[in-house]
Structure 1
Amino acid sequence: MVMLVLLAAAMPFRFPVWYPTSFPVIKSVSILDMMLVVGLTVLLLDLKRRRLNLGYRALALLLAVPVLVSALSLMWSDDRIATLRTTVNFLEAFVAYLFVTRELAGVAVERVVAFLRRYVWLVTLPAVFLLLHVPGFAPYEPGLSHRSGDYLSYYTRLSHPLLGRSNNLAAVLAILVPVLLHVGHSRRDRLTTLTGLVAAAAVICTFSRGVMVAFVIAGVGCVLLFRRPFGGSWKPLIGKVVVGALSLVAAPIALYVLNPTTHEYFAGRLSAANILSRAELYRAAFEKIEAQPLLGYGAGAVPKGDAVLIVDVHNTYVQQILYYGVPLGALVGMVVLSLPLFFLLRRGLHPLAGAVGFGVLVDVISFAFESSLEGTVLRVIFYLHLGMLAGLLRSPVPEQRREAPQGAAEVMS
């Protein structure tokens, strides 16, 4: 079941569905949606035999906050249909977390890492096939003209035919890179190390500036705050870091040389158009926040039908304030920011906690530059990843690391 859900999350093809005009909430259904309906059914049937497995209760409570706030905003939303749709999507994401938490309870580290490895390959290969113009892997975005700039941009850098353009793919893979590289190094697992390098190379080939800046900020922050953020000594890593760095430099150079459309992309990025468009988004967003600072406009709602903000602000934290107002928006933003801290505080209890926390920190920082958390499929995948990474830390700890410091039992609970 876990493998089927991961397969559906890697290629979440959507089907348009018919619905009554009086109930326009569900416009389409993806394979991932259908798999999670099966997962929810399994969870409900399992309640007859045992209590719901929340994994780490504190983490489950944190992830439930956005769901509850989104549902609460139905009371004042400017667009109740959009808010209801967003709330259903949040519930679906929470089901994904609960499902993988149940399925991975007591599963060995090696098995969980194998799932993560397979998922990286399942996500990366369609992106490569898209660049190679393999039939069946063209960009799938209903209503998008094949001659439009948005369509052609899929071929300028590594993008996914179903998950979307490069920033989306980078956000999906970035959270897994530190974990796979750490496991591959610490356990001398060449396949896992190779998979981690492939994921890192794919992130660089997306040319997602937000995610790459997030890696730098997260790395500097972890080094300054923790003397050894991932545990162990740095010396054995020097050789691997040099080889890995050379490989990661070679990947984007090869893409630039072999893919002529990438040249056009870089030429366009030298202009100030992107910076000006982001500045216009922020200006429009802060004007709307100033107009309704207390409660906002409701989850998923476009403020007063503003044409500038019809997509998003490209900043998760500003977007939450726009949706829920300053008090609740700041609460949801603080919950998202606290997620990496939840894992980093467990560095002394599990050898993988530092790498997991680093990966989550990269995604959380990138949310300040991108709108990944606002994507309906990407939101579900983010919760799915958190459930799998939490399951990784709940796996049996090796004998040499089982002695926890005083008070560790309270932290683990």
Structure 2
Amino acid sequence: MRRTYDVVIVGAGVAGATAGLLFAQRGLSTLVVDKKQNGSHHKALCTHFVQPAARPVLRKLAIERDIERAGGVPTKAAFWTSSGWIWPDGDYAIAGSDGSLLAYNIERRILDPLLTRRLERAAGVTVELAQTVRSPNRLQDGSWMLVLENATGGIREIGGRFLVAADGRTSPVAAALGNELIMKKENQRTCLFGYFENVKAPVENRSLFLLGAQEMAFLYPLGRDRALLAAYVPKTSRIVGDEESKTNALKSIFAQFPDLPDLSSARLASRLYGYSDYPNLARKPVHNGVAYIGDAALSLDPMSGVGCAFAMLMADMLVESVAPTIATQPDRLDAALLEYVARFNKFFPAHASGIAADSIIVKSAATTDSVYRRITRNTYLQRLFIALTGRIIQPEEFQKAYLSIGLAQNRRSA
């Protein structure tokens, strides 16, 4: 006999796991299914900087203490620019914070299994790993029938009142149901990163973002003299060679920037990761009654460091929008999905547009220097810039303040 759940989530990564835990908190029976073979599997191509915008979701999950016990490092971004450092005091809040609004650095090899264990222990959640979803089919009553296929080819049917696709940027669910890309914008950078030991953490455990004209280098402290070092360079100058030559090239990019921790003794403690082509992608957050979250809905340049936080925020927006209707008012589900779309569109498109634009390297050096010069010379703009990059505020709020301060400066000069 086919078992039917209130919610079926395809994908047990950050987005799917977060949604599963939040749906379970609402008392909904939830199946989370993933093709990964076991709970220790994790996403490798991720620099795991969890933006402070996701902290309210982490608090809903009551998982912050677990993250820190597992080695997660509370952190805040600091930016080196051609006009100096953007390094305001305090946390990410513009004003009135208790000092706890910080980002987290936590490796995906730690975060992903932590979330999977939480799912497996959560009341009302069933986790099915090593399963591939085949033939998602919507029934006349609006519910879903899906076929699960295991590693040996065994198949069975399951049902769900509501279907969520959290299955990554290539989203097999989207392919099967025709949710095609509505955005595909070039990313002109390529990335190389690895985990290194013998790297002293910067002051205040700051995560350092070093913004050169063409090449950029990021340092994420991970505790115990361990750090992730990442370089973003134009595709035309992609780092190639064997592991040793790539490691040396990676470290040489950091050598171009001042005031960094000493990297002369830094030792590669992992394999090197990276990508040569990673375009910015977007799909409709709802298509034919299916909700899309995480990279299945929006997958942006990893340099922006928004993947984990955006995944958690989408999951939270979705659950807040639809959970009250799934079990008790299924006839209102379409209206609830429109609410999710409205929340999604209020927050994500403006950030996505800015991130995609920043993926295009050809910019006026004079204009860029002028922008950074105004920011570095004004403490309030520095705080707003940090809040924007932490996705605490919308780009429009920063832009208005930037222009207003520029006009005031021009009047004083006149």
- Establish whether TM, by shorter chain, passes 0.5: no
TM-score, structure 1 normalization: 0.25
1 or 2, which has the higher helix percentage?
1
1 or 2, which has the higher strand percentage?
2
